[in-house]
A and B are shown apart, each in its own frame.
Chain A
Amino acid sequence: MDKFTKLSGVAAPMPLVNIDTDMIIPKQFLKTIKRSGLGANLFDEMRFNQDGSEIPEFVLNQPAYREAKILVAGDNFGCGSSREHAPWALADFGIRCVISTSFADIFFNNCFKNGILPIVLPQEEVDKLMDDAQRGANAVVSVDLESQTITGPDGGEISFDVDPFKKDCLLNGLDDIGLTMKKAEAIDTFEARYEAQAPWA
């Protein structure tokens, strides 16, 4: 997994609430058997007309936001389908951090597995960053995971919480499976005891 330590880039505003994973990556792009290449279809039906031409009003089509690395989003971002294609598409596009007042659980977890940092902040702080993000190419925001701070375009700092285990995995690009495999003995012990107790399972 790609490490996440520090990130500095343009933040794009997406104030719509309940942005679901069907919006982030529509179903027709789930037929791939790869993880890569989905950035071209990120937010496909919001971003492109049916003939493939761009919808100019869509935020990531605007000149200032085409290279955005951060999204500032409305409440309950990533709700709906469990498709990990959503964070794959975001990362492939170049977005490595999403900031909102809340995230759906499965999407939130999926982000950490793909080097994306989802940050939950109170409404006032998201509102402030949303205002900053509206400033286009001037909306350069910096995120430092080690110190858990966000620095806005005017230099103001906001601190954020992150789960210590998930933080460690992101900072060091750790592979969950490798970590769990080190606990194989504990799994073996559990399994032996459990199979005696619940043989039907």
Chain B
Amino acid sequence: MSNPKTLYDKIWDAHLVHEEADGTSLLYIDRHLVHEVTSPQAFEGLRMAGRKVRAPEKTVAVPDHNVPTSLDRAKGIDDEMSRIQVEALEKNAKDFGITYYGVDDVRQGIVHIIGPELGWTLPGMTIVCGDSHTATHGAFGALAHGIGTSEVEHVLATQTLIQKKSKNMKAQINGALSEYVTAKDITLSIIGATGTAGGTGHVIEYMGEAIEALSMEGRMTVCNMAIEGGARAGLIAPDQKTFDYVMGREHAPKGAAYEAAVAYWKTLFTDDGAHFDKEIILHADDIAPVVTWGTSPEDVLPITATVPAASDFEGGKVDAAARSLDYMGLKPGTRLQDVAIDTVFIGSCTNGRIEDLREVAKVMEGRKVKDGIRAMIVPGSGLVRAQAEDEGIAQKLQEAGFDWRMAGCSMCLGMNPDQLKPGERCASTSNRNFEGRQGRGGRTHLLSPAMAAAAAITGRLTDVRDL
């Protein structure tokens, strides 16, 4: 082939409206997902300038960050500022003619869960949202960027984004994963290998047998954390699994339109010989169930390891590691499996999908949450919650001792009442272990849903393979 292209190159070229001589480009945006936290100032900006939303039919709004996950949430939000923010989104959606899913709609949920679920997310699209985990949608072979609020306003007004093209990076996982080694372990292991700035300035395409073998849910977990590796977007080439997942969803094309779309989607892959600026290759055999020990997602180790010492690192990371160990209350040399936890959080845009809940149910089969452990499950959407109830998973997990809650972002970032107290330690299926992320002074260990279930059973970080 004369001019082999990567998947990223192809999607970029298909959406290029205009390019300046210096490479500054105007990229057309197919879908704009909007939530309540990063959008009010953008809508206000439109009003001040007397501008409209250019393509309201391509824009979807849902409240997720602030919403309570208690069963009685229909009574309203107690926190006044949270309530105002959610009400502002509802009003903005109505004023500007945008589809809105309120908390009384079963389709409400975390924006990155409902986009794919409702067929708003399709292969080959450009998708943006004022949220860094927009990378999730890359699992469909869509170019999905997190953007700031000024860019939200820009996309609302123009349906385009000003961008310079990123570099291409390849993350290839060869071989097959062992039992209980999951998509979460893949994505954390990549970040462990490259660091949280390893993907800065790049779009990562994930490939290889282990990625191909993943379900769509698993692929979304992998791409979701591309941002934690510094990349603004992660991508996986669409295949038959992708097309099957999309088929029949509410906003996906139907009939002949679907067939035409699939014919195009089948051209979305990286050509042989296409150039990548950076590569990382891992073997699935070398990936174990992992947990984080520090306050950066790159602070990741196999569950069989011990807590490192600050002196194990180099450069600026020495002080950062010392600060992390102090914050996390961990002593070097401690076996990770001996670290006792107080709370288990299962949910988030990383691991709040049906497959994640099935995985938890499988580990919990015939077992109980240990006495004294607070264990909560927050499904990623109302539809995930309903499906888990239909499959009988919800009942089993409640009998095992889990608190079964309504959909939202919840304790992933604790903007709603679901927070850790100072010093509380949490085994969490979310995506960030930053200081204060789940509540001031709270200590977060990131891990997979299966590993979170194992921790719930024993009350400490646990190798799920040993149960």
A: residues with CB less than 8 A from B are 15-18, 20, 22-23, 26-28, 30-35, 45, 50, 74-76, 79-84, 87, 102-106, 109-110, 113-114, 163-165, 176-177, 180-181, 183-184, 186-187, 190-191, 194, 198-201
Contact = CB atoms under 8 A, between A and B. Distances in A.
Given A26-B440, A27-B413, A110-B150, A82 B30 contact: no
29 contacts: A17-B317, A17-B319, A17-B320, A18-B298, A26-B440, A30-B65, A31-B66, A31-B415, A33-B85, A75-B316, A76-B230, A79-B196, A81-B132, A82-B148, A83-B37, A102-B197, A103-B200, A110-B148, A114-B150, A163-B24, A165-B162, A177-B157, A180-B160, A180-B162, A181-B158, A200-B253, A200-B258, A201-B122, A201-B124
Contact of B147 (A17, A76, A82): A82
Contacts of A15: 316, 319
B38 A31 contact: no
B334 interface: no
Interface string B11-28: 000110110101010101
B84 interface: yes
A177 B132 contact: no
B130 interface: yes
Given A27-B414, A106-B146, A110-B149, 12 more contacts: A23-B435, A26-B436, A27-B413, A50-B440, A76-B197, A80-B228, A106-B232, A109-B147, A109-B151, A186-B17, A198-B124, A201-B124
Nearest to A29: B81
A17 B30 CA distance: 36
A104 B227 CA distance: 9
A20 B434 contact: yes
A76 B44 contact: no
Given A181-B158, A200-B257, A18 B18 contact: no
B24 A165 contact: yes
A165 B22 contact: yes
Contacts of B158: 177, 180-181, 184, 187
Contacts of B65: 30
A32 to B, nearest CB: 7
Contact of A82 (B26, B132, B422): B132
Interface string B190-213: 000000110011000000000000
Contacts of B20: 165
Given A31-B82, A75-B316, A177 B49 contact: yes
A23 B434 contact: yes
Contacts of A17: 315-317, 319-320
B197 A45 contact: no
A28 B415 contact: yes
B436 A106 contact: no
Contacts, number: 189
Contact of B51 (A75, A109, A114, A177): A177
Nearest to B316: A17
Nearest to B83: A31
A201 B79 CA distance: 38
Contact of B153 (A30, A74, A177): A177
B311 to A, nearest CB: 16
B40 interface: yes
Interface in B306-325: 315-317, 319-320, 323
B84 A33 contact: yes
B305 interface: no
Nearest to B422: A50
A163 B435 contact: no
A99 B409 CA distance: 33
B250 to A, nearest CB: 13
A45 B435 contact: yes
Interface in B1-47: 14-15, 17-18, 20, 22, 24, 26, 28, 30, 37-38, 40-41, 44
A177 B46 CA distance: 10
A165 to B, nearest CB: 4
Contact of B131 (A82, A103, A104, A109): A82
Contacts of B200: 76, 102-105
Contact of B196 (A76, A84, A165, A194): A76
Nearest to B431: A80
B19 to A, nearest CB: 10
Given A102-B200, A113-B150, A198-B264, A80 B82 contact: no
A23 to B, nearest CB: 6
A18 to B, nearest CB: 5
B326 to A, nearest CB: 13
Given A31-B66, A31-B82, A187 B49 contact: no
Interface string B254-298: 000110110010000000000000000000000000000000101
B159 interface: yes
Contacts of B258: 200
Contact of A18 (B153, B296, B413): B296
B182 to A, nearest CB: 23
Contacts of B440: 26, 45, 50
The list of the 10 closest CB pairs from A to B, nearest first, reads: A113-B150, A200-B253, A31-B81, A110-B148, A33-B40, A17-B316, A84-B148, A76-B197, A84-B149, A82-B132
